[in-house]
């Protein structure tokens, strides 16, 4: 069951379920909070709820930093990969939060890079992105 409380001039909805972490979100109206709580509780009941709060705070650049720190040191050729990953971080797509990272964003990145580097480089960079996201899921 969800609880609602007024915090300043906004409403906070909090859902507590046994076996799940607490879920809370803040809204401008109580009606919006109740609507969100109902839909979230239905998803929890179905087992289809996915918490996206971490994805809304983490950028692709943050994932690249973690990959450089934890995964790259254990790999052969880490020095070459480090140079490539740092170059990738300078692109604007790395400032995109994961919840907003869409295929069309990666397509724009690919098209921009193809104008300045060879196709093999772009393929390698997209493979890095895939590997980085897969490591983050573990």
Q: What is the pLDDT of residues 9-33, one digit of tens each?
A: 999 999 998 888 888 999 999 999 9
In total, how many domains does the chain have?
A: 2
Q: Which two tokens stand for residue 6?
A: 């007024």
In this structure, the answer to whether residues 65 and 132 fall within a common structural domain is yes
* Listed residues 51, 67, 91: the one ending a domain: 51
| Cβ partners under 8 Å of residue 42, min gap 6 | none
User: How high is the pLDDT of residue 90?
Assistant: 92
In this structure, the answer to whether residues 47 and 6 fall within a common structural domain is yes
Over residues 41-82, the pLDDT tens digits come to 998 888 887 777 777 788 999 999 999 999 899 988 888 889
This prediction has a pTM of 0.68
The rounded distance, in Å, linking the Cα atoms of 92 and 89 is 8
In this structure, the answer to whether residues 63 and 33 fall within a common structural domain is no
- What is the domain range of residue 21? 2-51
């Amino acid at each position: 069951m969800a609880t609602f409380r007024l915090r300043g001039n906004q409403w906070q909805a909090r859902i507590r379920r046994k076996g799940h972490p607490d879920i809370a979100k803040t809204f401008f109206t109580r009606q919006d909070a109740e609507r969100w709580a109902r839909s979230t509780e239905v998803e929890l009941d179905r087992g289809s709820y996915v918490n996206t709060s971490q994805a809304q705070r983490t950028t692709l650049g943050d994932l690249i930093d973690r990959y450089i720190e934890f995964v790259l040191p254990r790999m052969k050729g880490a020095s070459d990969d480090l140079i490539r990953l740092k170059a990738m971080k300078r692109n604007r797509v790395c400032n995109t939060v994961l919840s907003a990272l869409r295929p069309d964003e990666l397509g724009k990145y690919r098209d921009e890079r193809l104008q300045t580097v060879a196709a093999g480089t772009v393929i390698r960079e997209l493979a890095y992105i895939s590997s980085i996201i897969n490591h983050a899921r573990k």
